[in-house]
Amino acid sequence: MALSVALIPLLPLTGFVILLLFGKQLGEPWAGWLATAMVAASFLVACGVFIGLLDQHENVFVHDYFEWIPAGSFRVDVGALVDPMSISMVLFITGIGSLIHLYAIGYMHGDPKFPKFFLYLNLFVFSMLILVLGNNLLLTFLGWEGVGTCSYFLISFWFDDPANASAGKKAFITNRVGDWGFMVAMFVAFFTFGTLNYEAILADPSGVSQTAVTVIVLMLFVGAVGKSAQIPLYIWLPDAMAGPTPVSALIHAATMVTAGVYLMCRINPLIGAADSWVPWVIAWVGAITALVAASIACSQMDIKKVLAFSTVSQLGYMFLAVGVGAYWVAIFHMVTHAFFKALLFLDSGSVIHGMHDEQDMRRMGALKRFMPITAITMMVGWLAIAGIPPLSGFWSKDEILGKAFEAGGQGYALYAIGTVAALMTAYYMTRLIFRTFYGGENWRVTPVPEHGQTMAAAFAAMEPEARDAARDAVPDLDLAFTPEPAHGHIDAEYEPHESVWQMTVPLIVLSVLAITGGFLSLPFEGLNFFEKWLEPVFERSGVHEGEHSMALVVILLVVGAAVAVAGVLFGYSVWGKKNPSTQRALEPAAAGNGWYYDIVITRFMGGPGELLFNALAWFDRTIIDGAVNGVGVGLVAASQVMRRGQTGYVRRYALGIGFGTLVLLGFVLSKVLVS
Amino acid sequence: MSPNGYLMLSALLFAMGGFGLLKRRNPLVMLMCVELMLNAVNLTFVTFSRMLNDITGQVIVFFVLTVAAAEVVVGLAIIVAIARRRSGATADDISLLRG
C-alpha cells in the first residue's frame, strides 16, 4: 500500500525526468505518448489504491516515508494521507489528466516545443498529486507552489507574444498574494500547535485559542482565494487563457484552481472551531464571486474567456458550499465540474483548432455542420453546466443551493444569489453554443483583424457595403472590450475541419462522464453514495445534518431545474433567433470589461501603487542596504586605524609582549598584595 | 646562604637580555639575547631550588634547556634562510607583515 501510494506521484515525476533528459530525442509524438502513459499508469495505480483503501480501518491510510526537515522542535516528514477525500481528488486528477494529455498529443501537433509541453504537464500533475496526498501543510504548500510555477511556465508557453508572457507573470504574481496568506497561516499553525501535521492539527482544535484558529483559517482562506481565483484575486484566471487550450483545461478542471477548495475542505475541523462569522465570510465571497463572474461571462466575445469566467463562477459555488458547511457537496461539485469543464475546454480547443486559432465567437457560427463530434459533446457539456436534469451539473449545483437554503438566515440570501447566478450560467452557455454551432457561417462575412488589431477597428476599416452585410450577420462587431487582440487569421474561403481521434476520444469519454457524473450521489436516501463515502472526513467539522423533509428537497430540485430551463430558453430566444437589439442590450460594455475591475487595478498599480513601490524600493536601497553596507564601511575605517600598530618590526612586538607581561604581573601582584 | 646575590645577578642578566632584544637589530645577537634571558630564568630556578631544598626547580631547568636548544635550531635555520636571500639583513628589514 505504501509503495503504490508513493507510485501515484512518482510516475508523473519519472515522466518529467525522462522528458527532461531525453525529451528532444523522443520528439513528436513519442514524448506525448510517454507523458500520457505515465499519468494513465498513475490513474491505474490510484484505482488499485482506491480498492485497497476499502479494506483499511475507517478507509484512511497514513504513512510517513522519510524525515524531510529535522530542525529542533520543528520537524516535517514526507508522508501520505490517503482518505476518501484525497483519493477522490487523485482519481479525477489522474483520470482527467490522462485524457487531457491524450488530447494534447493531437492539439500540440507540429509545435516546435512539443516535448517541453509534456514535460511541464507531467510536472504539473505531479505537483497537484503532492498537494493532495501530502499529510502536512508544508508538503501541501510544496505542491501548491509547484502548480503555481508550472502554471506560469504553461500560460506563457508561447512566450514569443508579449501578451502571453505577461499573462503568465500576472498569474504568478497574483498567486503570490495568496501564497503569503498560506505562509502566515503555517507560521501561526506551527506557533499554536507545534506541528504542521494534519492529523495533529485537525485532531482536536477545541483545546487551543479560538483567535489563533480563526487567524489560521482566514489566512488559509486568503491562500485559497488566490489559488482558486475568487474575488478579489480572480483576475489572473481569465488571462490564463493565453496558454494552449489543454493547459486551460488542466488548470480549470483537474488541477490548480481546485486546490483552494481542497484545502478548505481539508481543514474543516478548524473552520468548525473558528469564530462563527468565518464560514459566512467564505460563503459570501463564494456567492458574490459566482454572481459577478457569471455576469461578466454573459458578454465575453472570446470563447475561452466565457469558459474562464464560468470557472470562476463555479468555484464560487464550491466556496459557497464550504461556507455553509456542506464540504462533501463542494468536493462533489468539484468532481462533476471537472468532468464538464474539462469537456467544455477541450471542446473549445477543438473549435479553435478547427478554426485555425480563431477564438472570437463573432467569427464563428454554423460549426455543427463541420465538426459534429465536437458540437454534440460540447452540447452535453452545455446542458450539464446549465443544470438541466439529469446531467451531472444539475445534481451537484442544486445540492449546493439546497444546502445554502437549509442553512437558514443569511442562507436564504445566498440561495437567491446562487439561483440568479445559475440562471446567468444557463444563459451565457446557451449564448456560447448558439453563437458557435448555429446561425450563419460568420467567418465568411466578418473582417479579418490584423495582428494586434481589435475586431472593432477591423470592422471600422471595412468597405461600406461589406460592413452592412457584416452588421446584418453579426450585430456586435463594433464592440471592443479591454485588451482583446485578435488571434485568428482565417479568411472567407476557410473550411473548418473536425479534429483528429486523439482529441475526439477524450471528448466522448468526458461527455459520458458529464452525463452520468451526477449519479455518484443523488439527494435521496440510499442513493447518496458519494456523501456516505466522504462523510467520515467531515465528521469533525462540527456541522450537523439538519432534518430535511423530502418535500423541500423535491421543491428545490424542481426550482433548480426550472431556473436552468428558463435560462436556456431565454438564451435561445435571444441567440437562437435573430434579435439584434436584444443581443446588443445584453452585452453592456461594463460587463464586457469585467466591471472595469481589471482596469482599475492596472491604473492603481500603475499610478499610486507604483509610487508606493518606488518609495519602498528607495527605503530598501537607502535604509536597509545602507545599514548593511554601513557595517562593512565602518569596519574598514576602524581597521585603517588599527593597522598602524602592525609595523612588522620584531622588536616592536617583543616590546608589546614585554609590556603585556608587566601589566599582567602588576595585576596579579596587586591581587596578591590586597588579599 | 643568602639567595639575594644570585637573584640580583639573574635579574641583571634578564634585563640585559630584554634590553638587547629590543635594542639590537642583528638577528643573531637578538637570538643570543633570548638565550641570555632564558638562562637568567634558569639561574633563578636553581637558586630557589637550593634555597627551598626542592629538586623540581632543577628538573624544570632541563626542560628549559631543551626548549632553548630547539628554539635555537629553528631560529638559526630562519636566520640562515634569510641570510641566503639577502646578506647583511637586519631584523627591521624583515617586516613584510607591516599593515
In a domain, A369, yes or no: yes
pLDDT score recorded for residue A566: 92
- The pLDDT of residue A546: 60
C-alpha dihedral over A593, A597, A599, A601, to 10 degrees?
A: -160
CA distance A197 to A134: 9
Check whether residue A462 and residue A571 sit in a common domain: yes
Whether A559 and A645 map to the same domain: the answer is no
Residue A165 domain-assigned (yes or no): no
DSSP A197: B
Does residue A625 fall inside a structural domain? yes
Classify residue A85 as exposed, middle or buried by CB count within 10 Å of its CB (0-12, 13-18, 19+).
Answer: buried
- Do A384 and A441 belong together in one domain? yes
Residue B29 placed within a domain:
yes
**Least confident among A127-131, A389-393, A424-428:** A389-393
Indicate yes or no: CB of A650 within 8 angstroms of CB of B91: yes
For residue B56, is it within any domain?
yes
Among candidates B22, B98, B99 on the partner chain, residue whose Cβ is nearest the Cβ of A654: B22
Cβ neighbours of B94 in A, within 8 Å? 648, 650
Confirm whether A495 is domain-assigned: yes
A648, A651, A658 member nearest B96 (Cβ): A648
Question: Is it the case that residue B28 has pLDDT exceeding 90?
Answer: no
Q: Which residues of A touch B98 (CB under 8 A)?
A: 646-648
The closest CB to that of A647, out of B21, B25, B95, belongs to B95
Residue A488, pLDDT score: 66
Range ranked top by mean pLDDT from A170-174, A228-232, A535-539, B65-69: B65-69
- Domain co-membership, A528 together with A419: yes
- Distance CA(A33)–CA(A22), nearest Å, equals 14
Of A555, A590, A625, the residue at which a domain comes to its end is: A590
On whether residue A271 sits in a domain, the answer given is no
Nearest residue to A383 via CA among A528, A518, A559, A530:
A518
User: Which of A307, A316, A77 shows the shortest CA–CA distance to A198?
Assistant: A77
Shortest CA distance from B96: residue in chain A: A648
Per-position DSSP letters for A379-409, written without gaps between them: HHHHHHHHT-TTSHHHHHHHHHHHHHHHH-T
| Residue after which a domain boundary falls, among A543, A562, A590 | A590
Distance from the Cα of A668 to chain B's closest Cα (Å) equals: 19
Average pLDDT over residues A77-91: 90
Average pLDDT of the residues in A638-645: 87
Domain boundary among A538, A564, A590: A590
Amino acid A484: pLDDT:
61
A173 C-beta neighbours (distance < 10 Å), count: 11
Residues from chain A that touch B18, judged by Cβ atoms under 8 A, are 658
* Same-domain pairing of A475 and A574: yes
Whether B55 is in a domain gets the answer yes
Report the Cα A111 to chain-centroid distance in Å. 25
Instruction: Say yes or no: A553 and A655 in one domain.
Output: no
Query: Could you tell me if residue A166 is inside a domain?
Result: no
Per DSSP, the three-state class of A123 is helix
Spatial separation of the C-alpha atoms in residues B1 and A40, rounded to whole Å: 106
Sequence-distant (6+) residues with CB within 8 A of A308 are A237, A238, A240, A241, A248, A252
Asked whether the predicted pLDDT for residue A384 surpasses 80, the reply is yes
The three cell numbers of residue A244 are: 494552449
A6 and A13 in contact (C-beta within 8 Å)?
no
Domain that holds residue A636: 608-674
CA distance A267 to B33: 82
Q: Which of A644, A645, A649 sits opposite B95 (nearest CB)?
A: A649
pLDDT score of A410? 86
In a domain, B10, yes or no: yes
Residue of A nearest to B24 (CA): A651
Q: Please give the residue range of the domain that contains residue B10.
A: 4-89
The C-alpha of B51 sits at a distance from chain A's nearest C-alpha, in angstroms, of 22
pLDDT of amino acid B1: 64
- Each residue's pLDDT tens digit, A466-488: 888 887 777 777 777 755 655 66
pLDDT at A589: 76
| A425-437 average pLDDT score | 91
CATH number, domain with residue B17: 1.10.287.3510
Is residue A641 less than 8 Å (CB to CB) from chain B? no
- In this structure, the answer to whether residues A436 and A519 fall within a common structural domain is yes
What is the rounded average pLDDT of the residues A220-239? 89
B53/A647: higher pLDDT: B53
Q: Are residues A629 and A582 in the same domain?
A: no
pLDDT band at A524 (very low <50, low <70, confident <90, very high): confident
Report the chain B residue with the minimal C-alpha distance to residue A639: B99
Considering the domain architecture, whether residues A544 and A647 belong to the same structural domain is answered as: no
Number of domains observed in the structure of chain A:
2
Q: What is the pLDDT of residue A316?
A: 93
pLDDT at A547: 61
- The B-side interface with A (CB below 8 A) comprises 18, 21-23, 25, 30, 91-92, 94-99
Same domain, A576 and A502: yes
Interface test with B, best of A641, A644, A651 (most B CBs within 10 A): A651
Tens digit of each residue's pLDDT (9 = 90 or more) over A95-104: 999 999 999 9
In chain A, what are the helix, strand and coil shares in percent, each to the nearest 5?
75, 5, 20
Non-local (6+) Cβ contacts of A531 within 8 A are A328, A332, A521
Kindly report, residue by residue over A319-350, the tens digit of the pLDDT: 999 999 888 899 999 999 999 999 999 999 99
| Same domain for A617 and A488 | no
pLDDT the model gives residue A209:
84
Complex ipTM value: 0.81
pLDDT in tens, A597-610: 888 888 888 888 88
The C-alpha cell 612586538 sits at: A653
How many domains is chain B partitioned into structurally? 1
Touching check for A654 and chain B: CB below 8 Å? yes
Q: Give the 3-state DSSP-derived string for A321-380, with helices as H, strands as E and coil as C.
A: HHHCCCHHHHHHHHHHHHHHHHHHHHHHHHHHHHCCCCCEHHHCCCHHHCCHHHHHHHHH
**What DSSP assignment string belongs to A230-289?**
-TTSTTHHHHGGGS-HHHHHIIIIISTTHHHHHHHHHTHHHHHHS-THHHHHHHHHHHHH
**Residue at B95 is within a domain:** no
Mean pLDDT of all residues belonging to chain A: 87
Residue B27 maps to a domain: yes
Residue A390 lies in a domain: yes
Q: What number of other Cβ atoms are within 10 A of residue A387's Cβ?
A: 27
